[in-house]
Amino acid sequence: MQPADVVRALFQRMQARDWAGAAACMAPDARVRYTATGEQFSGSGFMAMNEAYPEGWNIEVVDIVAAGDRVAAQVRVPNGGQIDWLTGFYSVTNGVITDGTEHWVTERSEAPPAWRAPFTTAD
């Protein structure tokens, strides 16, 4: 598989709750960082954490862009009444993810600053 295919397969298999299949996309000793919380996971820890995450979420891959062994993904994650967005950057080596940095944000979780109002467009 090409690097973009590996990252896409990870998310597709997680959506299917195919945890063994998802784990096959990730090196056990990979390093994945969450910038919002400062947490860092090994590949196996990352997979175990996602499997333990309470149900109610879905994964929708919006976009994947690859350059060589580097892959960027934009992912929409509806979860109950909220929508979370993931922008992730991954390194893929020998067909598995070996490194990742994930930036998570909850849609409309912050009020925009008033000074930007004159520059925005309607929804």
In this prediction, residue 122 carries a pLDDT of: 79
**Assigned domain for 116 exists:** no
Compute the C-alpha angle 34/78/105, nearest 5°. Answer: 35
pLDDT per residue as tens digits for the range 46-104:
999 999 999 999 999 999 999 999 999 999 999 999 999 999 999 999 999 999 999 99
Range of the domain at 29: 3-107
Q: Is residue 117 part of a domain?
A: no
Q: What percent of the chain has pLDDT over 70?
A: 99
Domain count, the chain: 1
Query: Which pLDDT does position 120 carry in this prediction?
Result: 92
Instruction: Indicate the average pLDDT of the chain.
Output: 96
In CATH, what number is assigned to the domain containing residue 21?
3.10.450.50
